């Protein structure tokens, strides 16, 4: 069995707690590698400060996501997955401009990201940034669209409030609570695994940008090693 197949089998057997621990380990790895690069930088610019914020946001959202899943709060966890994808999209946007420092300065000064333009003169709207990231990561688009329903009040909030249904009597039972209706752990596997992938992608983009930017100052660090 190949290493990839072994990892896939291991993930299949892993329970919810193991999946959340995998995100926790990825957070530690990103913290360590980000600090190793930034700690040796001879000089910092506006793009570095922007990336500081992106890394901080990535880690904060990962911790928040884990807490929400543990608390059985699927709607908020799904919304944070959408925000984690947004982080990856905007870090990736720095590869679409000729002067990342100028772009980041504008953002740090309060300019809205979607009013800025890439090197081809295209406005960097959320839809455009999603399209650009999805060219190399096709899974981004369907996940982005589904989780966007949880950012805005939509029918998805009605769906997840259904505790159970009785087909024979055609009756639906709803739970009015801040916690999810009782469901098996397996219900959360997909969203947790997808969040891990989004967090790893955001982390890879952050570290890749920093390494490319400061590669003359130090020996490049490796990408996150946690299995995908």
Predicted confidence (pLDDT) per residue in 148-193, tens digit: 776 644 444 445 555 555 566 666 545 555 566 677 889 899 999 9
pLDDT band at 100; cut points 50, 70, 90: very high
pTM for the model stands at 0.80
pLDDT band at 54; cut points 50, 70, 90: very high
Q: Is 10:1 a contact under the CB 8 Å cutoff?
A: no
**What pLDDT is attached to residue 221?**
47
Report the pLDDT averaged over residues 199-225.
77
**What pLDDT is attached to residue 9?**
43
Q: Is 119:97 a contact under the CB 8 Å cutoff?
A: yes
Between 23 and 171, whose confidence is greater? 23
Report the pLDDT averaged over residues 122-147.
95
Question: In the predicted model, is pLDDT for residue 223 greater than 60?
Answer: no
Above pLDDT 90, what percent of the chain?
A: 61
Q: Is 157:180 a contact under the CB 8 Å cutoff?
A: no
Taking the C-alpha atoms of residue 65 and residue 184, their distance in angstroms, rounded to an integer, is: 18
Lowest mean pLDDT among 11-20, 23-32, 47-56, 124-133: 11-20
Report the pLDDT averaged over residues 7-21.
75
Between 175 and 33, whose confidence is greater? 33
Taking the C-alpha atoms of residue 155 and residue 170, their distance in angstroms, rounded to an integer, is: 20
**What pLDDT is attached to residue 179?**
61
User: CA separation (Å) from 103 to 96, 119, 210?
Assistant: 10, 11, 16
pLDDT band at 214; cut points 50, 70, 90: confident
């Amino acid at each position: 069995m190949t290493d990839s197949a072994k990892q896939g089998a291991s993930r299949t057997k892993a329970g919810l707690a193991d999946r959340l621990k995998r995100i926790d380990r990825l957070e530690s790895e990103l913290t360590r590698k980000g600090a190793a690069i930034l700690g040796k930088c001879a000089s910092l610019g506006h793009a570095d400060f922007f990336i500081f914020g992106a890394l901080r946001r990535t880690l904060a959202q990962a911790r928040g996501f884990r807490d929400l899943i543990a608390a059985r709060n699927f709607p908020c966890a799904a919304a944070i997955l959408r925000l984690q994808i947004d982080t990856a999209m905007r870090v990736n946007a720095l590869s679409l401009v000729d002067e990342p420092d100028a772009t980041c300065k504008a953002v740090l000064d309060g300019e809205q990201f979607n009013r800025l333009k890439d090197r081809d003169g295209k406005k960097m709207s959320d839809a455009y940034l999603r399209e650009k990231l999805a060219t190399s990561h096709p899974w981004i688009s369907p996940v982005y669209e589904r989780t966007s329903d949880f950012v805005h009040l939509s029918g998805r909030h009605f769906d997840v409030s259904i505790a159970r249904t009785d087909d024979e009597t055609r009756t639906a039972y709803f739970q009015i609570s801040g916690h999810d209706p009782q469901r098996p752990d397996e219900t959360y596997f997909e969203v947790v695994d997808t969040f891990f992938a989004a967090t790893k992608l955001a982390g890879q983009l952050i570290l890749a940008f920093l390494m490319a930017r400061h590669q003359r100052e130090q020996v490049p660090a490796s990408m996150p090693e946690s299995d995908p």
